[in-house]
A and B are shown apart, each in its own frame.
Chain A
């Protein structure tokens, strides 16, 4: 019974962790110019999530200043400027 309870706790805690995925953050590159930087590397994120994070960050839309991509591991980054 102890073994079952222990296994159950482990499974439930593991599932709880899986329900809380962590997105790659948006960082302020230049606060005065409202220029931001984010990455959307890996398998779970992509250009769509970079765009979604920019949309959520900027109240009045944004301009893409630079996008970089490296095939070694799906590295993607986007620098953008929030419209004032």
Chain B
């Protein structure tokens, strides 16, 4: 009988107990298949920010190190699975810091069946903008956000393209339903942990905060994607969105007072009730003959920039509009090295009460990613980031050299 496939290398001819999980080390354990997987990465990062001396750091990139244990089984006609992961960062800047910081990004279980879909409960990557970061070529590199000289602290990661092309999906507690894959179409809807509005990470200083999460309601997130293949062209299109009530909005303080009995206190903050933040995005990725072109755009109100609900409100509690996106082109050389270029921008518009006129964070990234072995990638990146606030520009250049091992 004629074979419908080409002869494969002997070493790869049999796949014992191949699971749908991706981890590198698979352990049959009774009814369960346990997988141990993860990432180890380190980069030499040289950064020159405006008004500062050059900074040299050695640490983790956009991903921390990861050790994940997952398991899957079939019980009572249901696929049951779980993942628990710990994520140590690589940065330290002084002695006696216990080896740096650590995150705990994933801890969820799921159950379902191919016929009707999957329900997931626990902490995992947020639903909104998840495809934006998964398609970012700097996900396993460095991108923006390298620490300044002497300021690495216990940082766990850099920022990649976060805040310069898309908003971070973050790792959120959630209850989500994902449909079966229907000829390439798949959708996920879920309720997720509501976030407070903060003034942090990036963007213009100042702004109102919210301290009561979503009040009596969670955040609502959803996404839909369609994978297609037409002869030599393959790709994916996707949309996603998020809506969340912001309860307990409080305007920015106008001053400070100090008392020897109570210490420092802010003054002038006024309660402003609640707001509702909304954001949507759309993206597409096309691949042909070694080339891959990706385009992405988002538009929101009250959601802020860089992180979900970061800098989303003006000093008087009004919603700021934000939008942005990125384009990215990659090409795989005959040596299997992937070369890539990306341009991204995130913008935040001033609202009533703001003293700045506009905020824009742009980046250009040139990257080379080489598969030294099937589990080790070498990475070289140059990143140019330009932040414009009220028409004043500040440019940061970063060169990163290092590698990442995944198993």
Contacts and interface: CB of A to CB of B under 8 A. Distances in A.
A77 to B, nearest CB: 5
Interface in A13-51: 17-29, 34, 36-37, 39, 41-49, 51
A27 B370 contact: no
A47 B371 contact: no
Contact of A36 (B5, B39, B332): B5
Contacts of B63: 72-73
Interface centre among A42, A64, A69 (most CB of B within 10 A): A42
Given A71-B125, A73-B406, A84-B4, A28 B134 contact: no
A48 B38 CA distance: 22
Given A28-B13, A59-B4, A74-B140, A48 B335 contact: no
Contact of A77 (B22, B87, B181, B330): B22
B39 A22 contact: no
B372 A21 contact: yes
A17 B372 contact: yes
B66 A48 contact: no
A57 B336 contact: no
Contact of A71 (B5, B6, B130): B130
Contacts of A39: 22
Interface stretch (B192-200, B211-219, B373-381): B373-381
B20 A22 contact: no
Contact of A82 (B5, B37, B141, B285): B5
Given A43-B137, A58-B4, A48 B15 contact: no
B236 interface: yes
Contact of B12 (A19, A25, A34, A41): A25
Contacts of B299: none
Contacts of B83: 70
A75 B13 contact: no
B292 A48 contact: yes
A48 B234 contact: yes
Interface string B117-157: 00000001100001001100101110000000000000000
B85 to A, nearest CB: 6
Determine chain A's interface SS by DSSP, over half rule: mixed
A43 to B, nearest CB: 4
B369 interface: yes
Contacts of B373: 22
Interface residues of B, number: 66
Given A25-B374, A71-B130, A83 B4 contact: yes
B370 A46 contact: no
A71 B13 contact: no
Contacts of A37: 15, 18
Contacts of A46: 287, 292, 330, 338
B73 interface: no
Contact of B332 (A19, A49, A60): A49
Contact of A25 (B9, B85, B335, B377): B9
A73 B332 CA distance: 20
Contacts of B234: 47-48, 51
Contacts of A34: 3-5
B106 interface: yes
Contacts of A51: 229, 234, 287
Given A22-B374, A73-B406, A75-B37, A66 B6 contact: no
15 contacts: A18-B335, A21-B372, A22-B336, A23-B371, A23-B374, A25-B9, A41-B375, A48-B234, A68-B20, A70-B83, A71-B133, A71-B169, A73-B140, A74-B134, A79-B20
Pick the 9 closest A-B CB pairs, nearest first: A21-B336, A48-B287, A43-B140, A75-B22, A27-B15, A73-B39, A43-B369, A25-B12, A44-B371
Given A43-B140, A67-B181, A68-B20, 18 more contacts: A18-B335, A25-B8, A25-B12, A26-B12, A41-B22, A41-B406, A43-B369, A44-B336, A44-B338, A57-B8, A59-B3, A59-B4, A64-B227, A69-B22, A72-B85, A73-B63, A74-B406, A82-B4
